[in-house]
A and B are shown apart, each in its own frame.
Chain A
Amino acid sequence: MTAPRTLYDKIWDDHVAHEAEDGTCRLYIDRHLVHEVTSPQAFEGLRLAGRKVRAPEKTVAVPDHNVPTDPTRLEGIKDEQSRIQVEALRQNAKEFGIELYDIDDDRQGIVHIIGPEQGWTQPGMTIVCGDSHTATHGAFGALAHGIGTSEVEHVLATQTLIQKKSKNMLVEVDGDLAPGVTAKDITLSIIGKTGTAGGTGHVIEYAGSAIRNLTMEGRMTVCNMAIEGGARAGLVAPDAKTIEYVKGRPNAPKGGQWELAVTCWNTLQSDEGAHYDQVVRMDAAEIPPVVTWGTSPEDVLPITDEVPDPETFEGGKIEAARRSLAYMGLTPGQKLNEIEIDTVFIGSCTNGRIEDLREVAKIMEGRKVRDGLRAMIVPGSGLVRLQAEEEGIAQRLQEAGFEWRMAGCSMCLGMNPDQLSPGERCASTSNRNFEGRQGYKGRTHLMSPAMAAAAAVTGRLTDVRDLM
C-alpha cells in the first residue's frame, strides 16, 4: 500500500520521465504555451544547436504581451521592436510547426486565458509557459508553472523540464463569502496573510468550501496569483465544474477518449491523510473587499482601513514600506477609501474573463464612469470580447464611459502603448503593483473587477458594498 498522496504528488509521480541518482528529475511536459517576449532567444538557441521542437503538437503560440489593443493594430504594429518580436514568433511557429493564434484571429488573447478557452488546459496535465502567471491553469487541477527562457528552450527540445520536487502547501478557505467579496479578494487576502515569499519552494493546493463554490473563472483568479504568494504553482482539485468547463472545447478529448479522460480526472484529489508541509486556513466569511496600498502584492488591506505607518512593520519591511509610501504618494493614516484615482484598468490574465466583465457590468448598471477618468476594458481574449458584445455588456460599458479594447496583456505590464504616466494612479484588476509595473512612476492599486468598477463610478478607491 502506498502512503496517502496530495494532488501535487500524484501529478508529479505521473510525469517523472527520468530520475537521476541525486533526485534530479526530468518532468514530462504535456502542454507548452509560448508567447512573443520570452521565446525568441529559445528558438534562436534551437537553431544554433541544430535542434528541433520535440513535440510541436503539444506546443501552442500566441502573441499577447506587447500587442497594441487598439484596432489599428491589424494594419501593422507601429512600435518597431514589438513588431519584430511578434514577427519572430510568427516565423518561429511556422519554421517549427507550432499552432499560432495570430493577432487577427478571434482566438488570440492572453496565453493563460486562451489555454483554458481552447481546451488545451486539462486536469492532471503538466503545463509550462515562459510567464509566471502560468499558475492560472492550476485551477483545472493541472500542475502549471512559469519558466525562464532557457527552460523554454529545454522544453521545446526535450519536452521535459529539469526539476526537483517542491513542498506541499495547503490553503483551505471555508465558509461563505459575504456579498461584494470575490475570488480576487480571497487570493489577495491569502497573500496579505502569508506574504510574497510565504509559498516559496511550495506548490499550493487551494481547498475548502469557498474555493469549491467558486466558478472556474474564480478559481483561475485564485491560482493566477499563487506566484505573488511565492509559489510557482497553485492547484484546485478537479470536480464536476471543471469537467463541465472543459467539455466540448476545441482541443478537449472527444468520444471514447472523453470517457477515459473523465475516469482518470475523477481520481485527481488529494488522499485522506496526505501530508502537507505547510497549512494555512482562512474563514471566507471574514474576508472583506480589499485593495493594495503599496508596491508589493502583500501590501493588502480591507478597503475600510487606513494607509499603515511603516514604523509598525518589522525588519526590512520598515524601509520597504517607507519607500512604497513615498512612491505611491500616500501618508500614514490616510483613509483608503479617500484615495483619488486617475485611471481604471479592467483586464489581465487575473481578471480578463467574461465573468469579470459581467461583474463590472453589474456594478455599472445605471451608472457612469466619473468625468475626467480614463477607464479601459481589455478583454482577455478575442472570444471573451465577442461574447461580451453578444451579451450586450460591451455596448453598455462603452455607454457608461469605458474604452473597449482588443485582447492582450495591455496595462497589466505596460509593454504595449497602454501605460500609466508618472504619478498617475490606477485602480487595476491586474496582479502586480510593483514600482513602474504599469508605466514609469505609475501608481497601482490592485483590486477585484467589482471594486475597480466602484472606483470608476466615484473616482476614488471605494467599498463596492456602498454601491450594492
Chain B
Amino acid sequence: MTTALALSPAAALDFVPGAPPPATLRADIWRGIAAENPVLVQMLGMCPTMAVTNVLANGIAMGVATTFVLVGSGLFVSLLRKYIAHEVRITSYILIIATFVTLADLLLAASFPEISKALGPFIPLIVANCLLLGRAEAFAAKVGPVRAVADGMGMGIGFTLSLAAMSAIRELLGRGSLLGFDILGPHWEPWVFMVLPAGGFFTLGLLLITAAWIDELRRRRRALEAK
C-alpha cells in the first residue's frame, strides 16, 4: 500500500502541514500590503488601530514599532522552528514576541521620548496584538527565514499604511493639522468627535468601505477583461 499517499522520504522531510504555498519574495511582501492587509482585510490588531490613531505621528510610530516586532519575531520563529517542540510553541512564540516588544519600547523611549509617552501602554500591548502570534503560527513557523522576514515586512508596511491613513484623516479633521503642523488654518473648527473613540470607529468604517469598494471595482474590471 505504499502507493498514492506515500511520499518519498525527501518530500516527507520538507512537508510541513498547512505550509503557505511557494511564492516569490515580492508576492510575500505585497500580500501584507494589499490582498491580506492586516487592518483592512484581516481585521487584526483593532485595539491599537482604534487607540493610537488620533494623531498621525502616533499612528506611524505604532506602525513602525509593530513592523519591527513582526520582522524580528518572524525571523526568530522561523530560524528556531525546527528546535521548538510543538507542545511549547505558543509559549515560545510569545516569549520571542515579548522580547522584541520590550526592545521596541526601550528603543522608542530612548529615541522619541515624546511619542513614547503619548503611546503609553500601547507599545507593551503589541505583545497581545493577534497579528503577531497569527503571523508566527500561520506563516513564520512554516517557512524559511527569508520568506518570514519578507512577510513580516509586508504585514508591517500594510499595518503602518492603514494606521497612517486612519490617523491622517482623524488628525486633519479633528485638529486641523498633520504631524502637528497647522494645515487647515485658524478658521477651521476642529471636529473634536474625530479624535475621540467614536471618530476612530467612524474612520475605520469609511476606510473598510473604501477598501471593499476598490476591491469590487477591480474584480468587475477583471471579469470584464476575461469576457
A binds B: no
**B residues engaging A (CB < 8 A)?**
none
